[in-house]
Structure 1
Amino acid sequence: MFLDYESYEYWLRAGPTDMRFGALRLARLVITEMGHQPMDRSMFIFCGSSNKMVKILVWDHNGFWLASKRIMGRGGFAWPTDGQAAKNISFDEVLRFLSGQDCFRRLPAASGQYSV
């Protein structure tokens, strides 16, 4: 698999996904719930209910690739649970997410004004 990762769009399916699903069943979710075409130049990322496993679905010329990563031990992936079916993220956010960082929580910006 020789993919130019930076030229793809990355889409998350918020909320839990049944990790027993294979490539074709996940492709159906991409169409019916996320509103995208699975054969577009996009990678689609799904997470299980325990937040310990993710699957990435991508079309490569004549077939699907399905990659998975499972967190062993304590902890899990920080996963958005908002009602938005498909969330677009950047390549940099994907790398941070897969390394265990929480790139979805937004903290308020500090104003720089403090009073005592």
Structure 2
Amino acid sequence: MIVPSQGLRIVVAVRPVDFRCGHDALAGLVQNTLGLDPHSGLIVVFRSKRSDRLKILLWDGSGLVLVYKRLGEGRFVWPQARDGVMRLTRIEFEALFDGVDWTRVVNRKVARPAAAN
């Protein structure tokens, strides 16, 4: 499991990509098609046409890291296929990576305890 830091940007490339692509091809796609910098530290999630696989591209400070995951059963829940990217919260990303329906995740604000003031 990848556990991104709280401030890290996470985006999903909503249109399926060719899963034969490797590090460099996906980084080029991020830069040329999505208009983002693949070396800025953001996490980019790519989907397959079958919806049971995903690839994650991230820059760890010393090189590009490519993670591939295929679910044993079921499919990942993806947004409607269109152009561009969609931003995810850390909680939504973790649910997506675990194969859970991340669209049902509710991000609630928790009140600070009185003792902390």
TM superposition score category, shorter chain reference: 0.7 to 0.9
Q: Which residue of 2 aligns with 1:41?
A: 41
The code of the aligned residue for 1:69 comes to K
Structure 1 runs not aligned, ≥5 long? 107-116
Q: Which residue of 2 aligns with 1:58?
A: 58
TM-score (ref. length: structure 2): 0.79
The code of the aligned residue for 1:99 comes to D
Q: SS of the counterpart of 2:44?
A: strand
The code of the aligned residue for 1:42 comes to L
1-structure distance, mates of 2:50, 2:36: 25
CA RMSD across the alignment: 2.1
2-structure distance, mates of 1:103, 1:4: 16
Q: Which residue of 2 aligns with 1:92?
A: 91
1-structure distance, mates of 2:98, 2:63: 27
Q: SS of the counterpart of 2:68?
A: strand
Q: Which runs of 4+ in 1 moved over 6 A?
A: none
Kindly state the Cα deviation for residue 26 of structure 1 after the two structures are TM-superposed: 0.4
The correspondence of residues 1-116 of structure 1 with structure 2, limited to 5 A, is 5-73=5-73, 75-104=74-103
Q: Percent identity between the aligned chains? A: 27
Structure 2 runs not aligned, ≥5 long? 106-117
Q: SS of the counterpart of 1:5?
A: coil
Moved more, 33-42 or 77-86: 77-86
| Count of equivalent residues | 104
TM-score (ref. length: structure 1): 0.79
Kindly state the Cα deviation for residue 6 of structure 1 after the two structures are TM-superposed: 2.3
Does the CA-based 8 Å contact 1:9-1:42 persist in structure 2?
yes
Kindly state the Cα deviation for residue 32 of structure 1 after the two structures are TM-superposed: 1.6
State the Cα deviation string for residues 53-73 of structure 1 (Å, max 9, x = none).
101100112210001110123
